[in-house]
Each structure stands twice: as C-alpha cells, then as structure tokens.
C-alpha cells in the first residue's frame, strides 16, 4: 500500500466517522411493564420527551408505551380472623 492509498483511506475513514458523529442518535423508548408499574415511569417519559425536544444529539424515533388499560391496584391487606 502506498502513502497515497493510506492517506486516502484515512481521509475517507475520518469523513465517514465525522458524519456518523454528527448524526443524531436514534432512540427507542420502551416503558411497558408486565405486572408492577413503578409510579416514576411517567416522569421518566416526560424527561425523555423534554430532552428529545431540547437536544439535537438524539431523537426518539419510537415510543412503546403501556396501553391505556386499568392497571390493578395493590391487593387489600388480609382481614383479621373473626
């Protein structure tokens, strides 16, 4: 390999890496749960949406959210024996 080929390879490689670094990172957000659903999840979703709107460094391309269903509440404590 000659110096010209080596220089050309370095220039093309650095150009490709620079373009990849400039492109925003694509993010998939999944907040679905099976069973227990932590109450902080909606706050995390809000924070990620605010970062997505404010930052050019990444973009949220897909949200996988919990379906709008009634999540069961915690069971009642056992009754005292009669």
pLDDT by residue (tens digit) across 48-81? 899 889 988 888 888 888 777 676 777 888 888 8
pLDDT by residue (tens digit) across 15-38? 665 565 678 888 889 888 887 888
Q: How confident is residue 11, by pLDDT bands cut at 50, 70 and 90?
A: low
**31, 65 Cβ separation under 8 angstroms:** yes
Res 14 pLDDT > 80: no
What's the number of CA atoms in the CB half-sphere (13 Å) around residue 57?
A: 4
pLDDT attached to residue 20: 59
Give the residue, 70 or 39, on which the prediction is more confident: 39
Contacts of residue 57, defined as CB under 8 A and 6 or more positions apart, other chains included, come to 24, 25
Q: How far apart are CA 59 and CA 31, in angstroms?
A: 17
Q: Tell me 39's DSSP state.
A: T
**30, 64 Cβ separation under 8 angstroms:** yes
């Amino acid at each position: 390999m000659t110096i010209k080929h080596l220089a050309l390879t370095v220039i093309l490689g650095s150009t490709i890496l620079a373009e990849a670094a400039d492109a925003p990172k694509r993010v998939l957000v999944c907040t679905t749960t099976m069973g227990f659903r932590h109450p902080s999840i909606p706050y995390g979703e809000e924070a990620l949406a605010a970062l997505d709107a404010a930052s050019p460094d990444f973009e949220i391309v897909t949200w996988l959210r919990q379906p709008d269903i009634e999540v069961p509440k915690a069971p009642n404590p056992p009754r005292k024996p009669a």
